[in-house]
Amino acid sequence: MSESMHPLYDKHVQCPFCTHSFQTKKVRSRFTRPIHTDTDFCTMYKDEQNSPLLYVPIVCQQCGYTFTDQFSNLMSDQSREEISNRIAKRWTPQNYCKERTEVEALNAYKLAIYTAQLKKEKAIVLAGLYLRVVWLYRKRKEPQEEARFMRLALKMYKRAYEEDDLTYTDMNALRVLYLIGELNRRLGLNEEAIRYFSLVVQKKQLASDPKIITMARDAWFQIREDQKSSSLNLSTTGN
Ligand SMILES: [Zn+2]
């Protein structure tokens, strides 16, 4: 396979923390073939080995600072000091700039989450990182870890919605409300899920993306169907 045909390419980046310049792998968009998208937007690809999901966080090999395109350029002096003490000074060089396995990608996401916490990134940025960890654990069929990160993502999306923290991101308020409903539904918290899906439907005039209204209605309907079949099971096994 010639270099130009390889699904991965080297992207030139500069560490916003220590200014070290380096190259890191990204997936060429023409090689990403989605075959299915789950109701929480987790996309399955024809070639999972070269999924773009694996290459979202960029890890500076020199200092350990880990970031994504969603991180802001701002950093307070206090955050800078925290990152210096807790990440850069303790970092033993590790190379995340080559091809990644799912486990390496998970480690890169966890480094990005830790960096985002110390940097005090917006709740919506942290929520997006937690959600992507959820997807990776789903692909690895580790339901307990998947549920643990779903709870973390849920908490952060709620904070992002309450703090109206959505400006300058690619997530609009309705999509966030829908995701809060959907994560509740996946965690079995049906009453909460219905509350959020009904909010999405009520606010439908705000939808720039009408598909989200249909998705909320479908998920709401799904809960009603699940409740009907579980009460049917109870009444047939209850006597
Ligand atoms: Zn660095």
Q: How far is the CA of 232 from the centre of ligand 1 (A)?
A: 58
The angle formed by the CA atoms of residues 155, 161 and 167, to the nearest 5 degrees, is 125
- Spatial separation of the C-alpha atoms in residues 44 and 38, rounded to whole Å: 8
- Spatial separation of the C-alpha atoms in residues 27 and 54, rounded to whole Å: 9
- Spatial separation of the C-alpha atoms in residues 33 and 50, rounded to whole Å: 10
- Spatial separation of the C-alpha atoms in residues 120 and 150, rounded to whole Å: 20
Domain edges within the chain: 3-122
Residue 204: which pLDDT band, with cuts at 50, 70 and 90?
confident
Q: How far is the CA of 66 from the centre of ligand 1 (A)?
A: 8
Q: Which residue has the higher pLDDT, 164 or 84?
A: 84
Q: How far is the CA of 22 from the centre of ligand 1 (A)?
A: 9
Q: How far is the CA of 107 from the centre of ligand 1 (A)?
A: 17
Q: How far is the CA of 164 from the centre of ligand 1 (A)?
A: 31
Burial of residue 78 (number of CB atoms within 10 Å: 0-12, 13-18, 19+): exposed
Q: How far is the CA of 214 from the centre of ligand 1 (A)?
A: 44
- Spatial separation of the C-alpha atoms in residues 64 and 48, rounded to whole Å: 26
- Contacts of residue 208, Cβ cutoff 8 Å, sequence gap at least 6: 172
Q: How far is the CA of 96 from the centre of ligand 1 (A)?
A: 13
Distance between first and last Cα of the chain: 65
Q: How far is the CA of 60 from the centre of ligand 1 (A)?
A: 5
Average pLDDT, the chain: 92
Q: Which pLDDT belongs to residue 239?
A: 44
Residues 51, 61 contacting (CB under 8 angstroms)? no
Q: How far is the CA of 36 from the centre of ligand 1 (A)?
A: 36
Burial of residue 42 (number of CB atoms within 10 Å: 0-12, 13-18, 19+): middle
Q: How far is the CA of 87 from the centre of ligand 1 (A)?
A: 10
pLDDT tens-place string over residues 90-140: 999 999 999 999 999 999 999 999 999 999 999 999 999 999 999 999 999
Q: Which pLDDT belongs to residue 167?
A: 63
pLDDT tens-place string over residues 21-53: 999 999 999 999 999 999 999 999 999 999 999
Residues 209-232 have a mean pLDDT of 90
Q: How far is the CA of 109 from the centre of ligand 1 (A)?
A: 16
Q: Is the pLDDT of residue 200 over 70?
A: yes
Q: How far is the CA of 155 from the centre of ligand 1 (A)?
A: 29
CA 140 to chain centre: 15
Q: Which residue has the higher pLDDT, 201 or 165?
A: 201
* CA dihedral angle for residue 177, residue 179, residue 183, residue 185, rounded to 10 degrees: 70
pLDDT tens-place string over residues 145-190: 999 999 999 999 999 998 876 665 667 888 999 999 999 999 999 9
What does pTM read for this prediction? 0.92
Burial 122-159 (b: 16+ CB within 10 A, else e): bbbbbbbbbbbbbbbbbbeeeeeebeebbebbbbbbbe
Q: How far is the CA of 133 from the centre of ligand 1 (A)?
A: 23
Tokens coding 220: 């709401």
Residues 75, 119 contacting (CB under 8 angstroms)? yes
Residues 65, 94 contacting (CB under 8 angstroms)? no
Q: How far is the CA of 236 from the centre of ligand 1 (A)?
A: 62
Q: How far is the CA of 75 from the centre of ligand 1 (A)?
A: 14
Q: Which residue has the higher pLDDT, 206 or 68?
A: 68
Q: How far is the CA of 121 from the centre of ligand 1 (A)?
A: 17
Looking up tokens 């993306």 gives: 209
